[in-house]
Amino acid sequence: MLDIRVEKTTSPKPIPDKDNPLVFGTIFTDHMFVMDYEEGKGWYDPRIVPYAPISLEPSAMVFHYGQEMFEGLKAYKTEDGRTLLFRPDKNIERANNSNRRLCIPELNPEDFLQAIKAVVKMDEAWIPTKEGTSLYIRPFVIATDPFLGVRPSNTYKFMIILSPVGAYYPEGLNPVKIWIEDEYVRAVKGGIGEAKTGGNYVASLASQVKAHDEGYSQVLWLDGVHRKYIEEVGAMNIFFKINGTVVTPKLNGSILPGVTRNSCIALCREWGLPVEERQISVDEILEAAKSGAMEEVWGTGTAAVISPVGALRFEEEVMQIQDGGIGPVSHKLYDTVTGIQTGKIDDFMNWTVE
């Protein structure tokens, strides 16, 4: 149990009004959670303080060797005014898996949850209530030793910042166009692909820029060894429904284990749909799309929850999926997950935390 010191802001910012589009990641609330770490001392001085710039030495290790971990989850307001977190235990577990891979000291899971709850409660008035909106929660740890040698840092800062975000699809679910990357790779087994850390995202930028320039919204990565097996999308895991079976790449060490992915597998199984977690080659996808066996394709992630995929491009071929429309399983998953998250439907999976 953390003894969290609280320093309230003396100059609160105006809370965005109902019509603000709340563009993702642009607005931050009044407060943040901070806790420090020192080798031998452990995590210390948990506090909620006004959201403000922090001061670090230019030599702080995070700037040079990227030793950092981050997470992303959301808080939702229900119609009866309760605040719900969606499976925070899963994000906390993944954060500590990332920490271990990145030689960052682990965080006590109960303390982590207490910190999230405390800072969300402090800025509860910032949680938007309009359909599809939420409060995005960004916990992260950075290495702060002022040192230019390459080794794990001895000091760290753990912070949680909060950002109200608008509906991902203000006009309703909208299929996205995906670019299957055949030049760059994101991660390899044995690397850091399954950790949530900045390095994986900077590795993706060149490809993302190329795809955007061609009119595609996200990149689908192939494996780094054979360059033929499907891995995941820029910020989503990927699902295919082929001949009545739901198929998604097996977690192999280079794919981020998404919380939404895990939830969708559980729901499909609950509904009696066959689900396979296995290797899927890009050739299998091309063939299924050509023969008409490909029924649906969708991505899963905290930001959009479900993103139906309307088109997939590989080299010079463009595959149209569902005639660019939205399939029934994608739709049912979207309605069910968002319904549970916002308290609109009974939480029969026991996933929300008040």
- What secondary structure letter does DSSP report for 332? H
Nearer CB in complex with ligand PMP: 302/330: 302
Beta bridge partners of 278: 249
Nearer CB in complex with ligand PMP: 43/229: 229
One-letter amino acid for residue 60 of the chain: A
Nearer CB in complex with ligand PMP: 16/198: 198
HEC letters along 155-216 = EEEEEEEEEEECCCCCCCCCCEEEEECCCCCCCCCCCCCCCCCHHHHHCCHHHHHHHHHCCC
Please state the closest distance from residue 25 (CB atom) to ligand PMP, in A. Answer: 13
Please state the closest distance from residue 316 (CB atom) to ligand PMP, in A. Answer: 26
Which of left, alpha, beta for 42 (phi over 0: left; psi -120 to 50: alpha)? Answer: left
Residue with the CB atom nearest ligand PMP in the bound state? 258
Which one, of 27, 92, 37, lies nearest residue 62 by Cα? 37
Please state the closest distance from residue 196 (CB atom) to ligand PMP, in A. Answer: 6
Please state the closest distance from residue 236 (CB atom) to ligand PMP, in A. Answer: 5
Q: Interface residues with ligand PMP (CB under 6 A)?
A: 72, 232, 235-237, 256, 258-261, 300-302
Q: DSSP string of 212-255?
A: HHTT-SEEEEEPTTTS-BEEEETTBEEEEEETTEEEEEPP-SSS
∠ Cα 94 219 256 (to 5°)? 10
The number of helices, as runs of H, and strands, as runs of E, in the chain is: 8, 18
Contact 306, 330 (CB under 8 A): yes
Please state the closest distance from residue 157 (CB atom) to ligand PMP, in A. Answer: 21
Nearer CB in complex with ligand PMP: 91/153: 91
Please state the closest distance from residue 186 (CB atom) to ligand PMP, in A. Answer: 8
Nearer CB in complex with ligand PMP: 83/98: 98
Nearer CB in complex with ligand PMP: 123/232: 232
One-letter amino acid for residue 36 of the chain: D
Nearer CB in complex with ligand PMP: 2/73: 73
Residue recorded with tokens 């071929």: 317
Please state the closest distance from residue 292 (CB atom) to ligand PMP, in A. Answer: 28
Neighbours of 235 (CB within 10 A): 19
